[in-house]
Structure 1
Amino acid sequence: MWSISGLAILLPGTCAFNTEICLTAACSRWTQIDLYLCRLGNAIKMIEIRSIQNEIEFNDMLYQRWLVLRAPLGMPRGTEKDKYEDNAFHAIALWDRQIVGSARLRPLSEDLGSIAYVAILPEFQNQGIGTQLVQKLIAIAAEQNLKTLRVMARTNVMNFYNRLGFIAEGEPFDYLDLSHIFLYYKLPAALQLVTD
């Protein structure tokens, strides 16, 4: 067994995911990037995207949401939720039975839905988990026959939403002392269910 930066490494060709390092027989030298990319590939395969199933998961999701969105701003517990939680669809991303990402969808009107509280733990960001969560919410919105989705996003993540097809409307504004903007997504007619 070898060690890089204090992490145990098994022999080449084996995978030690619990140590977050995977080696292949193809390389004899390992860079931090190689090790990170291998961990990334393993983590993405093990992520489960689904709805909240019970009150314990709901409370765990609220804590995860607070850790990502409110704790870095010095805000207390309780500020991560609002009065709309009970009427919303909550999607979570699970890795090893732990909530590492979450997002919420709720109807604002018959045609308009709101995506909010998209939150991924920092160590799981930039791995496609946020994309999977938003795509799950888009699918749920289509099932609910919503025509448009709106998200109020921090301006530093606008490109993430643009890549998913959201278009910014209006000017940026301050919310919680951070710059935010509204973005909209038009659901393709093919995704919307036909009701008689």
Structure 2
Amino acid sequence: MDDTELLFIQPGHTLYPEELELRYRVLREPLGFPRSAVTFPFEAQSLHLVLRQGATVLGCVLFNPEDAHGGRLFQMAVSPPLQGRGLGARLVIALEEELRRRGFTHVHLHARANVVPFYERLGYEVYGEPFTEVNIPHRHMRKSLASSILPGRRSQEA
């Protein structure tokens, strides 16, 4: 999969309809929700990171800034035949790198209960009580970006 590319896009980009279709197929259609349930009121204010191969979106993750320091990661999806190959981790790590570059220090998310271990492997921690969203169990998770140094990277401070 070395012919793939990570790309930040916005609504209106030529890949945006592909991103929406992936989000629908992976996150909403299996739960019986209509296509209209895939978009959020804050789409235009959010960062959209897609993993593409040519004109095909293989994965995506979004981030909605809530203040100058942090916000919410949401709508992380990878095409089902490609799940389990590290593409989701690649997306989240690349998003976190961009968030750090932009000065964000923390991120939180609503994780479906079955993907909590995925986010824990990426350094996220569960907090608060379990809750139901889109009719399925979820957990609140968060991560401090300020203290997260990726393997092989050195702090800029000497």
Q: TM-score, normalised by structure 1?
A: 0.71
| Unmatched tracts of structure 2, length 5 or more | 150-155
- Distance, in Å, in 2 between the alignment partners of 1:134 and 1:110 is 20
Question: Is it true that 1:47 corresponds to 2:4 in the alignment?
Answer: yes
Q: Deviations over 1:150-187 (max 9, x none)?
A: 01110100010001000000121111111001110101
The answer for the alignment partner of 2:145 in structure 1 is: 187
One-letter code aligned to 2:33? M
Report how far residue 190 of structure 1 moved.
Answer: 7.5
Matching residue within 123, 130, 134 for 2:88: 130
One-letter code aligned to 2:36? G
Q: Is the 8 A contact 1:114 1:149 kept in 2?
A: yes
The answer for the alignment partner of 2:61 in structure 1 is: 103
The answer for the alignment partner of 1:25 in structure 2 is: none
User: CA RMSD, aligned part only?
Assistant: 1.8
Report how far residue 60 of structure 1 moved.
Answer: 1.5
Report how far residue 46 of structure 1 moved.
Answer: 2.8
One-letter code aligned to 1:73? L
Q: Is the 8 A contact 2:48 2:63 kept in 1?
A: yes
The answer for the alignment partner of 2:116 in structure 1 is: 158
- Distance, in Å, in 1 between the alignment partners of 2:113 and 2:97 is 24
Task: Work out the percentage of aligned pairs sharing the same amino acid.
Answer: 28
One-letter code aligned to 1:136? A
- Distance, in Å, in 1 between the alignment partners of 2:23 and 2:85 is 18
Higher Cα Rg, which structure: 1
Report how far residue 111 of structure 1 moved.
Answer: 1.5
Partner secondary structure for residue 37 of structure 2:
coil
The answer for the alignment partner of 1:80 in structure 2 is: 38
| Unmatched tracts of structure 1, length 5 or more | 1-42
Partner secondary structure for residue 92 of structure 1:
strand
The answer for the alignment partner of 1:20 in structure 2 is: none
Q: Is the 8 A contact 1:60 1:99 kept in 2?
A: yes
Partner secondary structure for residue 36 of structure 2:
coil
- Distance, in Å, in 2 between the alignment partners of 1:47 and 1:124 is 13
Q: How many residues are matched?
A: 149
- Distance, in Å, in 1 between the alignment partners of 2:148 and 2:30 is 40
Report how far residue 123 of structure 1 moved.
Answer: 0.3
Q: Is the 8 A contact 1:115 1:137 kept in 2?
A: no
Higher relative contact order (CA 8 A, sep 6+): 2
Partner secondary structure for residue 92 of structure 2:
helix
Q: Deviations over 1:10-52 (max 9, x none)?
A: xxxxxxxxxxxxxxxxxxxxxxxxxxxxxxxxx3x23221212
Q: TM-score, normalised by structure 2?
A: 0.87
